[in-house]
Structure 1
Amino acid sequence: MKKDIKKVLDKVSSGNASPEEETMARLWLHQLHQNDEAALSEAELNEVSDEMWASLEKNRKQSSPRTGKLWPYISAAASLVLVAGMALYFYKYQSSAPVKAPQQYSNDVPAGSNKAYLTLTNGKKILLSTAANGMLAEEGGIKITKTADGQLVYTIADEGKKTTGKYNRIETPIGGQYELQLPDGTRVWLNAASSLKYPASFYGLSQRSVELIGEAYFEVAKDKTKPFVVKSKGQEVEVLGTHFDVNAYPDEQSIKTTLIEGSVKLNGQLTLKPGEQSVLRDGKFNVKEVNAVDAADWKNGEFVFTNESLTSILKKAARWYGVDIVYTNDLIIVPTFSGSVSRSENISSVLNMLEETSNVRFSIAGKQIRVTTK
């Protein structure tokens, strides 16, 4: 938890914090005096808080607010005051505060890994995690190869044999992920429990169209003459060449599209800018500013949570660790969570992070995670 606070404070100090992180830092400041193990005195808390709020209020009156940002104009002075107050907490108390021992589980669940199934146009199914490195197949003048680092690569093998109408499908199971490179050079990272259907060759097609179920991160090769389109239930994302993430799991209530760089057009009506995320729910789009890098945390080997609900976090854990989540009682007054954990760690690392900052408790029985609240 302290590492997460320090990380956010560094971003606030440098002026790179998102609105959510600025809000989080403010809440931490006001909650410190409620911590019996390490509390700021009332005088220290009030001094830091008053200076910060005075600076915020002055700056807010001098600036016109932007829609969608809770703390859009936090000043450098307020940031420094905030960091100073929090630093006082760290250096005054971190050496003396008792460290809570992590929960020890009688059994644990290992992380997922690179595994997927490739279905060719002739119906042949290949388990990529056990297939030998090298060429797997050749279809329509396209050579399909598995590289030494476990990536699936499509390359043009014979210009004269290019054909259209042939599709491949790659599917990751629960507890699996995979990376592939399409014939046009586009790179795709597929998250757990996801599938992507795509042409074995884009030759002769007016657009590069793929169909997604689940979540994928795209780095689209630029081609101004042939748009790249990602289709998922209720949404089409059209780009010419850019980096973005689409989360379109069937068991989620919305589809989230997050833009890292470039621009994308959604359903022909909405254009995103870098750092924006669209949420499509019940046929309506809502756009907000986010830390776009966090949306691709899974692709970079991390779980990153920013004010995220317990149910959302555990749903992600269930897909990656291949477990069932069982809630043994009603979740009453369960907070949101912020933090990060490596996806290569066992599930106990995720559960310990959640237990440290809430009244939620877990037990592991085989592939079942039982959730209770005190």
Structure 2
Amino acid sequence: MKKDVKEVLDKISSGNYNPEEEAIAKLWLHQLHQHDEAGLSEQELHEVSDQMWSSLERNKKQSLPHKYRKSVVYMAAAASLALIISVGLYFNQQRPLAKSIQPEAYTNDIPAGSNKAYLTLANGKKLALTSSANGTLAEEAGIKITKTADGQLVYTVANQGGKKAAGYNSIETPRGGQYQLNLPDGTKIWLNSASSLKYPVSFAALKERRVELSGEAYFEVAKDKIHPFIVKSGRQQIQVLGTHFDVNAYPDEQLIKTTLLEGSVKLNEQVVLKPGEQSLLTGEKFSVKEVNVNDAIDWKNGEFVFTNESLTSILKKVSRWYDVEIKYIHNPVNMPTFTGSVSRSENISGVLKMLEETSNVRFSIEGRQINVITR
């Protein structure tokens, strides 16, 4: 929808604007910061930006004494005048106004993540599973390690009389990667992006099946009453006999989340989960709540599913899956929440457009950086 620059900025300075005009003003501010053709120095740009944000938030400041409100309005009027001049110069020099004020088109796009991982063998050899040929990769302690065409790493017993003592393997998915691992005991593990798992090559000579996780993984543990399965993830330890559950234990997250789909698990010898429950570990303290378990394993099912989820939380997931950096043009305040879903196979533009359609948040893509235009 075509909008006159002066008309919009006059409405912003007066406080009589609608959500669309507010979003357009924020977009212009962002574009001014991205180009020096506006004729303003970096300091002037910041001053104009801060004054305009003061105007946008004027309605929130009605409880201030009258003399301060008058000062805010005066600053906003000055900002409007500077922006009318600078935005007008920029748009006249760069492209037709009718096109420039539309929600910013993505000049480039970023494809979704895929099956990518690195395997480190017990002897220290590192293999890039993405580029390795399908078929047998190695054989250790009587265990054959095979890569399949559909993104799985499969461990099978190749020689019952093989060595009982065995070292550890580790598999690591980069940002923008995921992988499935099938252990020789029949346990299946799906690794989300930016995650790693350390595990014994063989469980044959061990009293327990112990693995170490960083990041997020979904487990379908094979039943074995004699050999309990232990998952160590940061400050949490999970003990299971046979069950299906998801663990989210990224180092940059404050919480460790464990969601149980089937069976039962014991956490740090303190908490026992039932199917449909999720534990949240903050520091050393657990809390438990009932959840929709499908929301917790949306990534395994190839989706992003958001239920009243904050924008910052969503963009962390987007950052890992698309291997991008997130930059907030302004410090995020009163971040919106979202409920919805979108396929993880979509290019990043598909996710960003969904978020834009349901809020005043706007995005731009610069290389592998996503700029978030919000206030």
Specify the alignment match of 1:123 in structure 2.
Answer: 124
Specify the alignment match of 1:340 in structure 2.
Answer: 341
User: How big is the shift at 1:331?
Assistant: 2.1
- What is the number of residues matched between the two proteins? 277
User: How big is the shift at 1:211?
Assistant: 0.2
Matched AA of 1:239? V
Q: Judge conservation of contact 1:304–1:339 (CA < 8 Å) in 2.
A: yes
With normalisation by structure 2, the TM-score equals: 0.72
Say if 2:314 is the partner of 1:313.
yes
Specify the alignment match of 2:29 in structure 1.
Answer: none
Specify the alignment match of 1:43 in structure 2.
Answer: none
User: How big is the shift at 1:355?
Assistant: 1.0
User: How big is the shift at 1:334?
Assistant: 2.5
Encode CA deviations 1:263-295: one digit per residue, 9 max, x unaligned.
111011110011110000111001011101110
User: How big is the shift at 1:165?
Assistant: 4.0
Matched AA of 1:288? K
Specify the alignment match of 1:295 in structure 2.
Answer: 296
Counterpart CA distance in 2 for 1:364 and 1:149 is: 31
Q: Judge conservation of contact 1:229–1:239 (CA < 8 Å) in 2.
A: yes
Q: Give 5+ residue unaligned stretches, structure 1.
A: 1-34, 37-100
Specify the alignment match of 1:174 in structure 2.
Answer: 175
With normalisation by structure 1, the TM-score equals: 0.72
Following TM superposition, the consecutive aligned residue runs of length 4 or more in structure 1 with deviations greater than 3 angstroms are 101-104
Encode CA deviations 1:317-339: one digit per residue, 9 max, x unaligned.
00000100001112233221111
Q: Judge conservation of contact 1:141–1:160 (CA < 8 Å) in 2.
A: yes
Q: Judge conservation of contact 2:192–2:299 (CA < 8 Å) in 1.
A: yes
Matches of residues 38-187 of structure 1 in structure 2 within 5 Å? Answer: 104-187=105-188
| SS at structure 1 position matched to 2:223 | coil
Matches of residues 131-280 of structure 1 in structure 2 within 5 Å? Answer: 131-280=132-281
Encode CA deviations 1:87-143: one digit per residue, 9 max, x unaligned.
xxxxxxxxxxxxxx9863111111110010000000111110111111100000000
Encode CA deviations 1:2-59: one digit per residue, 9 max, x unaligned.
xxxxxxxxxxxxxxxxxxxxxxxxxxxxxxxxx99xxxxxxxxxxxxxxxxxxxxxxx
| SS at structure 2 position matched to 1:298 | coil
Q: Judge conservation of contact 1:179–1:188 (CA < 8 Å) in 2.
A: yes
Q: How big is the alpha-carbon RMSD for the aligned residues of Structure 1 and Structure 2?
A: 1.7
Specify the alignment match of 1:286 in structure 2.
Answer: 287
User: How big is the shift at 1:356?
Assistant: 1.2
Q: Judge conservation of contact 2:104–2:363 (CA < 8 Å) in 1.
A: no
Counterpart CA distance in 2 for 1:103 and 1:221 is: 50
Matched AA of 2:129? L
Counterpart CA distance in 2 for 1:356 and 1:150 is: 34
User: How big is the shift at 1:253?
Assistant: 0.4
Matched AA of 2:123? N
Counterpart CA distance in 2 for 1:158 and 1:102 is: 62
Counterpart CA distance in 2 for 1:125 and 1:299 is: 25
Matched AA of 2:259? T
Residue identity over aligned pairs, in percent, reads 72
User: How big is the shift at 1:155?
Assistant: 0.4
| SS at structure 1 position matched to 2:161 | helix
Counterpart CA distance in 1 for 2:163 and 2:309 is: 47
Matched AA of 1:325? I
Q: Judge conservation of contact 1:193–1:214 (CA < 8 Å) in 2.
A: yes
Encode CA deviations 1:191-235: one digit per residue, 9 max, x unaligned.
000000000000111110000000000000110111101001100
Specify the alignment match of 1:359 in structure 2.
Answer: 360
Counterpart CA distance in 2 for 1:307 and 1:150 is: 32
Counterpart CA distance in 2 for 1:371 and 1:115 is: 28
User: How big is the shift at 1:148?
Assistant: 2.5
Say if 2:369 is the partner of 1:368.
yes
Matched AA of 1:224? K
| SS at structure 2 position matched to 1:159 | coil
Counterpart CA distance in 2 for 1:115 and 1:353 is: 26
| SS at structure 1 position matched to 2:301 | coil
Specify the alignment match of 2:15 in structure 1.
Answer: none
Matched AA of 2:302? G
Encode CA deviations 1:147-180: one digit per residue, 9 max, x unaligned.
2222110000111113234100000001000001
Counterpart CA distance in 1 for 2:333 and 2:198 is: 41
Counterpart CA distance in 1 for 2:271 and 2:183 is: 26
Counterpart CA distance in 2 for 1:137 and 1:304 is: 38
Specify the alignment match of 1:304 in structure 2.
Answer: 305
Matched AA of 1:290? V
Give 1 or 2 for the bigger CA radius of gyration: 2
User: How big is the shift at 1:362?
Assistant: 0.6
| SS at structure 2 position matched to 1:294 | helix
